[in-house]
RNA sequence: GGGCGCAUAGCUCAGCGGUAGAGCGCUCGCCUUACAAGCGAGAGGUCGCAGGUUCGACACCUGCUGCGCCCACCA
C-alpha cells in the first residue's frame, strides 16, 4: 500500500476546482459512441429554462440524475448524458424585455447595430419598441451569457455530463428537428389548423394550451338577472331568473340551458326569452350537462364566458355573438345583432371598455332597467389563468394550430394511456398523474403561439385575388431547407415581391409553443436524421428525469411525439424528482422571494455536502431545504478523507496477504451484503436508499471495525496482513459506493492509492468515476468469504460495553481496564475468543476472560477499572 | 366531485409480519498516534384513530380523521 502523499489533505478545500479541471482535461465523462445500444445508457436531461438563475430545486433534482448516471457509468455502460438549454419561449422573452428595457413590435424596421439603453425604463410602457429581428438578437445574446453561468454552476456541482453534447432548443438544429417533426405530423394528419374558440391571455396576447392552465380562487359575485318571457308559446311562459358572475356578457348571450329533467324549466324548453337591456331573443334549451344545483339551475350561455359555454355552443349548434377581442376589451363597434335603438344605445356605454369597467357599467344598466334582482352576492370561485399570467383568461375565436393528443379521440387516448403503462415510473405511483391527465383531456394540443422568440411554424399560405389566405392548403417547405422562417424566407415558386399581395403568398406569423420543441428533446439530443448512427445507438433513451409538476406537459407531449414518429416510447424509465420546499413547507419559488442561491450554498458547504443533502431525499418526495443536512454531508465527506488517510498511512500490505482473521472476514462478508443492497437500490433508481445503506455501514465501519483492528494493522505481527488487506478492500469498495454521491472526496482519496490492483477488489489507475462498480458475488468469490458476519456485531457489542463502563466512570475511552469478563452463550463466546486480541487492544484491556453460560443465566460484560487516584472535585 | 400520496422520538426522515431505528437537537463524559469541524455514553416513542386478518401487526385489509398534491365544463 502506498504511503500517504504529501498532498493528502483532510479538508475539502479546493477539491472542486482541482478535480473539475482534471475531469475536463481527461475527458472523464466523455461519451464513447463506439458502443452498441445495449452497452449505452442514455439520459434525456431536462434542459433548464435559461431565463434568470438556477435555484436550489435545480441543484436538488439534477443531483439525483447525476448519481444514476455515475452508477451506470461505473457499471460499465457508456453514458450518454448531454445538457440542454431551453432558451426558447416566453420566459426568455420576458427576461429580455426587462433586462434591456425593450419590447418587440413586428411593425418596426430592423436597426443595424442597435444598442439597448444603459438602464431599462422604469415602466413597461416606456420600453423601446424594436423589430422582431433585433429582439431575437437580444434574446440570443442574453441566453448565451446565461448559459455560461449555468454551466459553471453545473460543473461546480459535479454533474458528470458530457459538455460536448450540449444543445439549445432555439439553435438551428433544434429548429430543424422541431419543424421537421411538425411537418411530418401535418403530412400524417396529426397536426391541423382550425378557427375556433380558444383560451387567450390578454396580457401576453397569445393563445394558451390546456396544459398551461391553472385554477385560482378569485372573488366574484352572483348577479341575479331577469330574462323576460316572449309569450307566444302559451300563457305559461314567464320570466326566467338566471345567476351569473359575468353580467357584462349578457350581450353575448345565445341561449339559456337547463337540465332536461329539471321540472322548473320543463315548460320553457323550446320557447325563447329576451335578454335584459338588449332585448335579444334567445332560445331556452335542455342539456344534460346543466346542473340543477348551480345558481338558479338555468345557465346563461354566452360566446364565450367559460369552457362550458364552448361545449354548449358546439353541441347545441348555437349562434356566435362574441364581443371580447384579443385585447380583453369589448368591441368598439356595435354588434350587428343589436337591432333596436335602445339596445344600441346601451351598448354604446360598454363599447371599448375593459371587462372590469364594462361589468360595472352593465350592472348600472341592469339596475336601471330593473332586471338586476337584489344586490350581487359575493362568492369566491375558481377562475382559469395562464400559469405564467396574472389576469383571467378569456375565450377568443382565432385560427390556431393543433396537434392531436387524444383530447378528441378515445382511440388515440387509449393508445397513449397504453404507452404510459409501458413506461417504468420511479416512483411508481406517479403513473396515476399521467393517466389522470390523459383521461381528462378536453381538446387537442394547441401548439401555435402569437409570440416572437421561438421556432416558427414553417408554412406559407396562398393568397387569392382578394388577398384572402387559403388556410386549408398551406405551402410546405422541403425538409432539406429547414429551418425556415416564413416571415423572411420565400416559398418555392414565389418571389419576395409577392409577399402579402393578392395572388401571392403570406407567411405564417405564429411560432410554436416551447413544449412543441422541448417535446422533442430525445430527437434533438440523439441527433435524429442529422446523425443516424448516433440516433441508433441512443434512442429510445433509457431515462427521462424530470419534476412531477411537468408530467402533463413535458412528459406527456414527449410521449405523443415519439408515439407518432416511431410508434414507441421515447425512453424506458422516468424518474420524478420532488420539489424543494422552504422551511415553511411552501414550494420554493422566485415569486415568493424565498429562493436560496446555489452558488453560495456550494461555496459554504462544498459540492459533495450539497449533493449529499440532495441525494438523501427519496425519489419523488418533496423535501424541505435543510442546511443541517448539508452540514452532515460535509462531515461525512471529511470523515471519508480521514478514514482513507488512516488506511493509506498504514505500512503496505504484502501482495500475497490473505484475509484470514475471523473479524476481517466478518467485515468483508457484511460489505458484500452492502454491495448487494446498494446495487439493488440503484437498479431500482432508489439512489437515496443506496446512499443511506452505504453511509450507515461506513459509520459503523469507522466506529467499530476500524477501532478494533487499528492496533493490529499498525503493528507488524503475523496477522497484520489480514487486517491491512481487508482494509484495502473495504476502502476501495466504500469509495466506489460513495462515488456517485461524493465525486470530489472519493476521487481525491482514490488518487492516493497510486497503484493498480486490478478491477475486482483493489484500486485501479485513473479516475474512480471510470472504475468498476463493486460486485458482491465477486467479492465473496475472490476473498473466499466463508466469514460469519455476526463476529463483528458481537465484538462491537462487547467493545460498546467496555466503552460504557468507562463512560459511566467518566474515564477516557483509552483508559485501561484491568479486567473484562464476558459471560455469554457458547456461540457468542466463540466469536469473542476469535477476536480476543483485537478487543483487548481496542478496549485497552489488561486481562480479558470469557465464561460460557450454561442453563440460561444472564449474559453480561463485567468491566473492572483501576481505582482512581485522587480526582479533583 | 374523482385520483394519488403522507401521518413513526422535540425536528428531518428510514423501516415494514417476529422484543421500535438513524441523524440533528438535548444530557453526561473524553485531547483517543485517521478525524475536537472529532470520539464515547445516555435520556426520549401506546409507530394518527377504530375495527379486522394472524400464534404474532408499526408493517397486511377495511373504515375514519388530519395534511399535502394532481385532475375536473367553476352558470
**For residue A234, what are the contacts with CB-CB under 8 A and spacing of at least 6?**
A267
In angstroms, the CA A602 to CA A15 distance is: 12
From the CA of A834, how many Å to the C1' of B26?
Answer: 38
Look up residue A323 and give its three cell numbers.
364581443
Nearest CA among A557, A548, A454 for reference residue A211 = A557
Distance A832 CA to B26 C1' (A): 35
Letter string b/e over residues A496-515, b meaning 16 or more CB atoms within 10 A of that residue's CB:
eebbeeeebbbbbebbbbbb
* Helix then strand then coil, % of chain A, to nearest 5: 45, 20, 40
User: Gap from A571 CA to B37 C1', in Å?
Assistant: 44
Which of A305, A299, A267 has the alpha carbon at shortest distance from A282?
A299
* Shortest-distance nucleotide from A801 CA to C1': B41
Backbone angles phi and psi of A689, in degrees to 5: -70, -40
Query: What's the CA dihedral at A124, A150, A609, A688 to 10 degrees?
Result: 90
Shortest-distance nucleotide from A383 CA to C1': B74
Q: Residue with CA nearest B25 C1'?
A: A628
> CA–CA separation, A573 vs A609, rounded Å?
28
Looking at residue A3, its pLDDT comes to 41
Task: State the nucleotide closest to A442 in CA–C1' terms.
Answer: B73
* Distance from C-alpha of A766 to C-alpha of A728, rounded to nearest angstrom: 17
Tell me the Ramachandran region of residue A286: left when phi exceeds 0, alpha when psi lies from -120 to 50, beta otherwise.
beta
A387 within 8 A of A196, measured Cβ to Cβ: no
Q: How far is the CA of A297 from the C1' of B58 (A)?
A: 50
Q: What is the dihedral of CA A619, A625, A631, A637, to 10 degrees?
A: 30
What does the block give as the cell for A732?
A: 476501495
Q: According to the model, what pLDDT value does residue A500 have?
A: 95
Residue A616 CA: distances (Å) to CA of A64, A85, A265, A595, A635? 9, 27, 61, 20, 14
ipTM, two decimals? 0.94
In angstroms, the CA of A836 and the C1' of B55 are apart by: 41
Nucleotide in closest CA–C1' contact with A799: B40
Q: In angstroms, how far apart are the furthest CA atoms of chain A? A: 117
**A858-CA/B17-C1' distance, Å:** 29
Q: Is A322 helix (H, G, I), strand (E, B) or coil?
A: coil
A607 CA vs B25 C1’ separation (Å): 25
| Cβ contacts of A269 within 8 Å, gap of 6 or more | A258, A260, A284, A285, A286
The alpha-carbon radius of gyration of chain A (Å, integer) is 36
Shortest-distance nucleotide from A243 CA to C1': B75
- For A783, half-sphere exposure in the C-beta direction (CA atoms, 13 angstrom radius) is 34
Euclidean distance between CA atoms A563 and A547, whole angstroms: 21
Task: Name the residue with the least CA to C1' distance from nucleotide B75.
Answer: A299
A687-700 vs A607-615: helix axis angle to the nearest 10?
Answer: 120
Separation of CA A574 and C1' B49 in angstroms? Answer: 37
pTM for this prediction: 0.91
CA of A417 to C1' of B75 (A): 33
Could you tell me the distance in Å between the CA of residue A808 and the C1' of nucleotide B28? 9
What are φ and ψ of residue A141, in 5° steps?
-65, -45
Distance between the alpha carbon (CA) of A779 and the C1' atom of B19, Å: 34
- Give the residue with minimal CA–C1' separation from B37: A635
Cis peptide before A527 (omega within 30 of 0): no
Q: Consecutive 10-residue runs of chain A (873 residues): their mean pLDDT?
A: 48 90 97 96 94 84 96 97 89 88 86 88 90 84 89 96 93 94 98 93 90 87 90 60 94 93 88 93 91 87 91 90 92 94 96 94 95 91 88 92 94 95 94 93 92 90 95 96 93 95 95 93 97 97 95 96 97 92 62 71 92 92 86 93 91 77 92 93 94 94 94 90 91 96 96 71 87 90 74 92 91 90 90 93 93 80 76 39
* Closest to A721 measured CA to CA, from A649, A642, A651: A651
Residue nearest to nucleotide B74 (CA to C1'): A382
Q: At what angle do helices A607-615 and A598-605 cross, to 10 degrees?
A: 110
Please list the residues that pair with A577 across neighbouring strands.
A547
Measured CA A814 to C1' B29 distance, in angstroms: 13
CA atoms within 13 A on the CB side of A220: 16
Nucleotide showing the shortest C1' distance to residue A443 CA: B73
C1'-nearest nucleotide to the CA of A705: B34
Interatomic separation, CA of residue A647 and C1' of nucleotide B70, rounded (Å)? 51
Report CA-CA distances (Å) from A492 to A475, A477, A481, A593: 9, 8, 10, 52
Q: Are A571 and A543 in contact (CB under 8 A)?
A: yes
A346 in helix, strand or coil?
Answer: helix
**Smallest Cα–Cα separation from A349: which of A256, A255, A275, A250?**
A250
Protein-covered nucleotides of chain B (CB closer than 7 Å) are 2-5, 12-15, 22-24, 28-35, 37-42, 68-75
Q: Which nucleotide minimizes the distance between its C1' and the CA of A635?
A: B37
Instruction: Please measure the distance between the N-terminal and C-terminal CA atoms of chain A and give it in whole angstroms.
Output: 48
Q: CA-to-C1' distance for A573 and B50, Å?
A: 40
A216's enclosing H/E stretch is strand A213-229
Using the C1' atom of nucleotide B15, identify the protein residue whose alpha carbon is closest: A689
Nucleotide minimizing C1' to CA distance for residue A296: B75
C-alpha distances in Å from residue A529, one per residue of A180, A185, A540, A773: 10, 16, 14, 35
Q: Tell me which protein residue sits closest to nucleotide B35, measuring alpha carbon to C1'.
A: A642
Question: Among all chains, which residue has been given the C-alpha cell 375556433?
Answer: A196
Question: How long is the CA A815 to C1' B31 vector, in angstroms?
Answer: 13
User: What's the rounded Cα separation, in Å, for the pair A180 and A134?
Assistant: 26
What burial class does residue A115 get, using C-beta atoms within 10 Å of its C-beta: 0-12 exposed, 13-18 middle, 19+ buried?
exposed
Cβ neighbour number for residue A280 with a 10 Å cutoff: 23
Quote the DSSP letter at residue A330: B
DSSP per-residue letters across A359-414? HHHHHHHHHHHT-EEEEEEEEEEEEEEETT-SSB-EEEEEEEEEE--STT-HHHHH
User: What is the C-alpha separation between A588 and A547, in angstroms, rounded?
Assistant: 14
Contact call for residues A276 and A266 (beta carbons, < 8 A): no
Residue nearest to nucleotide B72 (CA to C1'): A440
**Spatial distance between the Cα atoms of A87 and A81, rounded to a whole number of angstroms:** 19
Residue whose CA lies closest to nucleotide B32 C1': A814
CA distances from A753 to A652, A731, A756 (A): 11, 10, 8
| Rounded to 5°, angle at Cα A681 from A24 and A618 | 85
* Cis peptide bond N-terminal to A431, omega within 30: no
- Match 393543433 to its residue by C-alpha cell: A402
Give the closest nucleotide to A430 (alpha carbon vs C1').
B4
Phi and psi at A366, nearest 5°, equal -65, -40
Q: Where are the beta strands (DSSP E) in A570-662?
A: 571-577, 580-581, 623-624
CA A482 to chain centre: 30
Smallest CA–C1' separation from A796: which nucleotide?
Answer: B40
Amino acid at each position: 500500500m502506498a504511503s500517504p502523499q504529501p498532498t493528502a489533505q483532510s479538508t475539502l478545500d479546493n477539491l472542486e476546482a482541482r478535480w473539475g479541471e482534471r475531469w475536463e482535461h481527461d475527458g472523464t465523462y466523455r461519451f464513447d459512441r463506439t458502443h452498441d445500444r445495449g452497452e449505452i445508457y442514455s439520459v434525456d436531461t431536462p434542459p433548464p429554462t435559461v431565463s434568470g438563475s438556477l435555484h436550489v430545486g435545480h441543484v436538488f433534482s439534477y443531483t439525483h440524475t447525476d448519481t444514476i448516471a455515475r452508477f451506470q457509468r461505473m457499471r460499465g455502460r457508456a453514458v450518454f448524458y448531454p445538457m440542454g438549454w431551453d432558451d426558447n419561449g416566453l420566459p426568455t422573452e420576458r427576461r429580455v424585455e426587462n433586462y434591456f428595457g425593450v419590447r418587440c413590435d413586428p411593425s418596426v424596421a430592423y436597426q443595424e447595430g442597435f444598442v439597448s439603453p444603459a438602464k431599462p425604463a422604469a415602466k413597461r410602457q416606456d420600453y423601446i419598441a424594436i423589430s422582431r429581428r433585433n429582439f431575437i438578437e437580444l434574446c440570443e445574446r442574453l441566453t448565451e451569457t446565461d448559459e455560461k453561468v449555468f454551466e459553471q454552476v453545473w460543473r461546480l456541482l459535479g454533474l458528470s455530463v458530457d459538455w460536448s453534447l450540449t444543445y439549445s432548443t432555439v439553435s438551428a438544429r433544434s429548429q430543424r428537428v422541431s419543424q421537421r417533426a411538425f411537418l411530418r405530423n401535418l403530412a400524417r394528419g396529426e397536426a391541423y389548423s382550425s378557427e375556433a374558440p380558444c383560451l387567450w391571455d390578454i396580457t401576453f396576447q397569445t393563445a394558451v394550451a390546456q396544459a398551461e392552465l391553472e385554477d385560482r380562487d378569485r372573488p366574484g359575485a352572483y348577479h341575479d338577472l331577469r330574462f323576460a318571457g316572449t309569450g307566444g308559446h302559451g300563457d305559461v311562459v314567464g320570466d326566467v331568473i338566471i345567476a351569473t358572475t359575468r353580467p357584462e356578457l349578457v350581450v353575448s348571450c345565445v341561449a339559456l340551458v337547463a337540465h332536461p329533467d329539471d321540472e322548473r324549466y320543463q315548460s320553457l324548453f323550446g320557447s325563447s326569452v329576451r335578454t335584459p337591456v338588449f332585448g335579444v331573443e334567445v332560445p331556452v334549451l335542455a342539456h344534460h350537462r346543466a346542473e340543477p344545483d348551480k345558481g338558479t339551475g338555468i345557465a346563461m350561455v354566452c360566446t364565450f364566458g367559460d369552457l362550458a359555454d364552448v361545449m354548449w355552443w358546439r353541441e347545441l349548434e348555437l349562434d356566435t355573438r362574441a364581443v371580447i377581442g384579443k385585447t380583453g376589451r369589448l368591441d368598439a363597434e356595435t354588434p350587428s345583432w343589436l337591432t333596436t335603438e335602445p339596445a344600441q344605445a346601451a351598448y354604446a356605454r360598454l363599447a371599448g371598455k375593459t371587462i372590469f369597467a364594462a361589468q360595472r357599467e352593465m350592472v348600472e344598466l341592469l339596475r336601471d332597467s330593473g332586471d338586476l334582482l337584489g344586490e350581487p352576492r359575493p362568492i369566491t370561485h375558481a377562475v382559469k389563468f395562464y400559469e405564467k399570467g396574472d389576469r383571467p383568461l378569456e375565450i377568443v375565436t382565432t385560427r390556431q394550430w393543433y396537434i392531436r393528443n387524444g383530447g378528441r379521440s378515445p382511440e388515440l387516448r387509449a393508445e397513449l394511456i397504453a404507452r404510459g403503462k409501458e413506461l417504468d415510473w420511479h416512483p411508481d405511483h406517479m403513473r396515476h398523474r399521467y393517466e389522470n391527465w390523459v383521461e381528462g383531456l378536453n381538446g387537442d394540443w394547441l401548439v401555435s403561439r402569437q409570440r416572437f422568440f421561438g421556432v416558427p411554424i414553417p408554412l406559407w399560405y396562398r393568397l387569392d385575388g382578394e388577398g384572402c389566405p387559403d388556410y386549408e392548403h398551406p405551402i410546405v417547405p422541403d425538409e432539406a431547407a429547414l429551418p425556415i422562417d416564413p416571415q423572411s424566407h420565400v416559398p418555392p415558386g414565389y418571389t419576395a415581391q409577392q409577399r402579402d399581395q393578392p395572388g401571392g403568398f403570406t407567411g405564417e406569423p405564429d411560432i410554436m409553443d416551447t413544449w412543441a420543441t422541448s417535446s422533442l428533446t430525445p430527437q434533438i439530443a440523439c441527433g435524429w436524421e442529422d446523425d443516424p448512427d448516433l440516433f441508433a445507438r441512443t434512442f429510445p433513451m433509457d431515462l427521462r428525469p424530470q419534476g412531477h409538476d411537468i408530467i402533463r406537459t413535458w412528459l406527456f407531449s414527449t410521449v405523443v411525439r415519439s408515439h407518432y414518429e416511431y410508434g414507441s416510447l421515447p425512453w424506458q424509465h422516468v424518474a420524478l424528482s420532488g420539489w424543494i420546499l422552504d422551511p415553511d413547507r411552501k414550494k420554493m419559488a422566485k415569486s415568493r422571494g424565498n429562493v436560496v442561491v446555489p452558488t453560495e450554498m456550494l461555496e459554504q458547504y462544498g459540492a459533495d455536502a450539497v449533493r449529499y443533502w440532495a441525494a438523501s431525499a427519496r425519489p419523488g418526495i418533496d423535501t424541505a431545504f435543510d442546511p443541517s443536512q448539508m452540514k452532515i454531508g460535509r462531515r461525512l465527506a471529511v470523515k471519508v478523507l480521514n478514514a482513507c488517510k488512516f488506511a493509506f498511512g498504514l505500512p503496505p500490505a504484502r501482495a500475497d496477504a490473505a484475509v484470514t482473521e475471523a473479524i476481517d472476514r466478518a467485515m468483508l462478508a457484511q460489505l458484500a451484503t452492502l454491495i448487494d443492497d446498494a446495487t439493488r437500490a440503484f437498479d431500482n433508481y432508489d439512489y437515496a436508499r443506496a446512499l443511506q445503506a452505504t453511509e450507515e455501514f461506513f459509520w459503523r465501519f469507522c466506529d467499530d471495525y476500524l477501532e478494533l483492528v487499528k492496533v493490529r494493522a499498525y503493528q507488524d505481527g503475523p496477522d497484520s496482513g489480514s487486517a491491512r488487506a481487508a482494509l484495502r478492500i473495504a476502502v476501495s469498495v466504500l469509495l466506489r459506493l460513495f462515488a456517485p454521491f461524493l465525486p470530489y472526496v472519493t476521487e481525491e482519496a482514490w488518487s492516493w492509492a497510486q497503484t493498480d490492483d486490478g478491477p475486482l477488489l483493489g484500486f485501479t489507475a485513473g479516475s474512480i468515476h471510470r472504475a468498476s462498480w463493486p460486485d458482491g458475488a465477486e467479492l465473496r468469490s475472490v476473498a473466499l468469504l466463508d466469514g460469519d458476519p455476526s463476529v463483528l456485531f458481537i465484538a462491537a457489542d462487547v467493545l460498546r460495553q467496555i466503552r460504557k463502563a468507562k463512560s459511566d466512570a467518566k474515564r477516557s475511552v483509552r483508559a485501561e481496564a484491568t479486567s473484562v469478563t464476558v459471560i455469554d452463550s457458547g456461540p457468542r463466546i466463540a466469536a469473542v475468543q476469535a477476536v480476543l486480541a483485537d478487543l483487548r487492544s481496542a478496549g485497552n484491556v489488561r486481562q480479558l476472560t470469557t465464561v460460557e453460560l450454561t442453563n440460561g443465566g444472564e449474559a453480561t460484560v463485567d468491566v473492572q477499572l483501576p481505582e482512581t487516584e485522587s480526582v479533583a472535585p
